[in-house]
Chains A and B, each alone.
Chain A
C-alpha cells in the first residue's frame, strides 16, 4: 500500500530525514518510535504534503501512485489521512460546517452525492459516540478552546468520518490521560480493517498496549535503525534508546 524508498528531506538546507525505507501492506499496523528530534513528525508532515520541506531524494509510492506528486487535499481524496500532533485552532470556523465540507469534498471526488445537513448530522452522531465526544463541541469553532484530550479525540472523529485507507497518527497519545488514551485507541482499533493500514508515531510505548502493532520501527537521526515485532516496543520502554544508538555507532 505504501512504499517509502530512501526518503530524504529537510528544511532550509538542514537534512532531517536521511534515507527512510519503509513498506506497509494493507491490513497492517506499523509503529514508529524514536527519541525527540529523530524526525518522526517530519516524516508525518512530509507524507501529508506540508509545504516548506525539501524532498532531496527518494520516493513514496502509495497504491502505485507517486504520493509526493499530489497536493495535500489530493492525498486525502485518495484515502490518506494524518491525525495531527498539534491540531490547529481555527476560530470562527464551525466544527460541523468544516467536517461536512470535508466529507462532501471527499464524496464529490468519489462521484457520490453530497450529504445534506440532516444526513451528515446522522452520520456524525454515530461517530461521536465512538469517541465519547460531547456533541456541544460540534457547535464550537474548530479545535478552539478544546482540551488536549478533546483535540486528539476530534482528530480521530475526523478519521472516522473520512474513513481513510491509510492513516498516520502523529503522537496522538501525547498529553492524554489513560482514560482518554483508551477511548482514542478504541476508536482507532474500531476503524481497523483488512483493507486499510495505519502508521502510529509515538514517543511512548504505552499507546502500543492499546493499539497493537504488527511491526515496530525505531527512528534515530532521520533513519530507521531497527525494526522488529511488537516486543521491540517493550524493550525500548525498558532500556530506552541509548543501546540502539550505541549498537549503531559500534
Chain B
C-alpha cells in the first residue's frame, strides 16, 4: 500500500470546509475561528492532531455495499441503527416494534434539541457539518429491557470524513442500555463524533462504546452527559482501534444522589495513540462518581489519560474515586497520565491515583508456584487487568462477548515480564 501524500496542515480548516457540505454558515465560521488545537494547547499537549490535519479530506460517501459481517453484538436482540460513513442505512437497520414511549430512529427522521456549545474545533466542526446519527429516547417511567445497538461502519479511506451526532435521552425513572460499535475496513478515514446522553431524575442508563476502528484511521469522539437527581449512569469505553483515537468525556452531575461510573479500557499497539480526556463536574451534594481506566500498551504505542474531577462549591458529601492503571508490555510504549482534582467544597471524599508498570513479577511467580507456566501466567494477568474493566459492564451478553474479544486481542499482544 502506498502511503498517501501529506496535505498541507496549514489550510486544513479550509480544505475541510470545502470538502464537507453544509448550510450552517455561523457554525462553519465558528469552526474556522477556533482552528485546530496545537501541542501548546494544554488539553492536547500529548495528542498531536497534525496527522489528522494532513489528511486529504473528502465527505465520506453513501455506501450501499457495506455489511455488518463480523460486527459485535450480533446475537443480542433489540433495535439496531446502522450508519455507514455517517449516513443512515435503512437496509441494515432494524428497529422493529418498541414499547410505547420508546423512540429509536435516525436523527434525520425527526427533530432533536440543539447540541451544547462546542468546546473546541472538533465539536464545532461536528455541529456545523453533521450528517446524521442515532436518536434514542425513552419516556418517563419506561424500562426498555432490550439494549439499543448502534453500528458505525466506515468504508472510506484517505481522508474520508464523517461527522455524526448521537442523542440519547432517558426520562425520569426510565431505564435504557445503548451499545455502540465503531469499525472500519481501511486506513485513513476520519470519524468525528459527538454523543449526548441526558439522564433525567432517577433514570438508569448503561452506555457501552466499543471502538475498534481500523488502526490506520482517525477517531475523535465526544460524550457529553447531563445527569439528573438520583440518576445511575455507567459509560464503558473499550478503545482498541484508531491510529489516533481521542475520547472527550464530559459528565455533568447536576442533581443530588447521582451515581456515575466512567469505565475504560484501552489496548493500543504499534503506531496507535489512544487518548481519554475526561472532566467530571460535581455540581450538587451526595453524588458518587467513579472513574476506572486501565490500559495495556504494546510496541511503540502511546496512550493519554487526563482525568479531572471538579467538585463545585456546595457539592458536599461528594465521593469521587479515580484510578488509571497502565501495563506497559514494551520498553518503547509511552503513557502520559494526568489525574487532577479540583475541589471547592469542604466535606468531600476524593481519591485519585495512577500507576504505570510492567508485568508484576510477584504475581507471575505466585501463578508459576501453582503450576502455571510463565506464558499462561502472563496471559492470565493481562486478561485480569482488562477483565477488571470489562466485568463492570452490566449487560451480560455484551460483557461476555467483549470479554472474549478482548481476550483474543490480548493473545495477539506481546509482553515481557519485568524481573
Residues of A within 8 A of B (CB): 48-52, 71-73, 76-77, 82, 84, 87-88, 90-94, 98, 101-102, 105-106, 109, 141, 158, 162
| A84, A93, A162 pick with most chain B CB within 10 angstroms | A93
Q: Which 7 A-B pairs have the closest CB atoms?
A: A92-B384, A76-B371, A72-B368, A92-B388, A102-B370, A93-B384, A105-B371
B residues less than 8 Å from A162 (CB atoms): 370-371
Which residues of the partner chain B approach A93 to less than 8 Å between Cβ atoms? Answer: 380-381, 383-384, 387
Pairwise interchain contact B363-A73, C-beta atoms closer than 8 A? no
Known: A52-B419, A92-B383, A92-B388. A82 touches B376 (CB 8 A): no
Q: Is the CB of A72 within 8 A of B365?
A: yes
With known contacts A93-B381, A101-B380, A73–B374 Cβ distance under 8 A: yes
Chain B residues whose C-beta falls within 8 Å of the C-beta of A49 in the assembled complex: 368-369
A-B contact pairs, 10 of them (CB 8 A): A51-B365, A71-B373, A73-B372, A77-B371, A84-B366, A90-B380, A91-B384, A91-B388, A92-B386, A92-B388
Complex contacts, B367 vs chain A, CB 8 Å: 90, 98, 102
Name the B residues within 8 Å of A101 (CB-CB).
372, 376, 380
Query: Which parts of B345-396 form the interface with A (CB within 8 Å)?
Result: 360-363, 365-374, 376, 380-381, 383-388, 391
- What sequence of 0s and 1s flags, for each residue 316-330 of chain B, a beta carbon within 8 Å of any chain A beta carbon? 000000000000000
Distance of B39 from chain A, by nearest CB (Å): 35
CB proximity to A under 8 Å, residues B289-322:
none
Residues from chain A with a CB closer than 8 A to the CB of B381 are 90, 92-93
Roughly how many angstroms separate A141 CA and B381 CA in the complex, as a whole number?
A: 11
Number of chain B residues close to chain A: CB under 8 A? 25
Contacts of B386 in A (CB 8 A): 92
Instruction: Report Cα–Cα, A102/B372, bound state, in Å.
Output: 6
> How many A-B contacts are there with CB distance less than 8 Å?
76
Beyond A92-B387, A93-B384, A105-B376, whether A76 also contacts B370 by CB under 8 A is yes
Pick the contact of A87 from B366, B371, B374, B391 — CB < 8 Å?
B366
Q: Which B residues are CB-close (under 8 A) to A98?
A: 367, 370, 380
Are B373 and A105 closer than 8 Å at their CB atoms? yes
In addition to A84-B366, A162-B371, 10 A-B residue pairs with Cβ atoms within 8 Å of each other are A51-B361, A72-B368, A73-B368, A73-B374, A90-B366, A92-B381, A93-B387, A102-B370, A105-B371, A109-B371
Neighbouring A residues of B372 by C-beta, 8 Å:
73, 101-102, 105
Q: How far is the CA of A101 from the CA of B378 in the complex (A)?
A: 13
Q: B378: shortest Cβ distance to chain A, in Å?
A: 12
Interfacial chain B residues near A105, Cβ < 8 Å: 370-373, 376
Picked from A88, A91, A141, the residue with its CB within 8 Å of the CB of B362 is A88
Bound state CA distance, A51 and B363, in angstroms? 12
Instruction: List A contacts of B391 (CB < 8 A).
Output: 92
| B-to-A contact residues, CB < 8 Å | 360-363, 365-374, 376, 380-381, 383-388, 391, 419
Residue from B361, B372, B373, B419 whose CB has the most chain A CB atoms within 10 Å:
B372
Q: Which of B367, B369, B370, B371 has the most CB of A within 10 A?
A: B371
Q: How far is the CB of B311 from chain A (nearest CB, A)?
A: 27
Given A88-B363, A91-B388, decide whether A76 and B369 contact each other with a Cβ distance below 8 A: yes
Q: Closest A-chain residue to B384, C-beta based?
A: A92
Inter-subunit contact A92/B371 (CB<8 Å): no
A82 touches B384 (CB 8 A): no
Chain A contacts of B368 at CB under 8 A?
Answer: 49, 71-73, 76
Complex partner residue of A72 from B369, B383, B385, B388, CB under 8 angstroms: B369
CB distance from A162 to the nearest CB of B (A): 7
User: How close is A86's CB to chain B, nearest CB, in angstroms?
Assistant: 9
Q: How far is the CA of A98 from the CA of B376 in the complex (A)?
A: 11
Contact between B366 and A158, CB atoms less than 8 A apart: no
A93 nearest in chain B by CB position? B384
In the assembled complex, how far is the CB of residue B377 from the closest CB belonging to chain A, in whole angstroms?
8
A102 CB to closest chain B CB (Å) equals 4
Q: Which residue of B lies closest to A104 (CB)?
A: B371
**Which of chain B's residues have a CB closer than 8 A to the CB of A94?**
387
Chain B positions within 8 Å of A109 at CB level: 371
What residues of A have a CB within 8 angstroms of the CB of B369 in the complex? 48-49, 72-73, 76, 82, 84
Q: Give chain A nearest CB distance to B92 CB in angstroms.
A: 36
Least distance between B79 CB and chain A CB atoms (Å): 33
Q: Are A158 and B361 in contact (CB under 8 A)?
A: no
Please indicate the chain B residues that have their CB under 8 angstroms from the CB of A90 in the complex.
363, 366-367, 380-381, 384
Q: Whole-angstrom distance from the CB of A154 to the nearest CB of chain B? A: 11
List B contacts of A141 (CB < 8 A).
384
User: Within the complex, what minimum Cβ distance (angstroms) separates A9 from chain B?
Assistant: 16
A106 touches B365 (CB 8 A): no
Residues in chain A near residue B361, CB distance under 8 A = 51
Provide the bound-state CA to CA distance between A51 and B384, in Å. 23
Q: From A51, A72, A76, A158, name the one whose CB has the most chain B CB atoms within 10 angstroms.
A: A72
Shortest CB distance B339–A (Å): 19
Residues of the B chain whose Cβ atoms lie less than 8 Å from the Cβ of A51 = 361, 365, 419
CB nearest to B382 among chain A residues: A92
A168: shortest Cβ distance to chain B, in Å? Answer: 10
Q: Which of A50, A90, A105 has the most chain B CB within a 10 Å cutoff?
A: A90
Inside 8 A of A106's CB, which chain B residues have their CB? 371
* Nearest CB of B to A143, in Å: 9
Q: Which B residue sits closest to A48, measured CB to CB?
A: B369
On chain B, the residues within 8 Å of A158 by CB distance are 370
- Give chain A nearest CB distance to B385 CB in angstroms: 6
Q: Are B366 and A88 in contact (CB under 8 A)?
A: yes
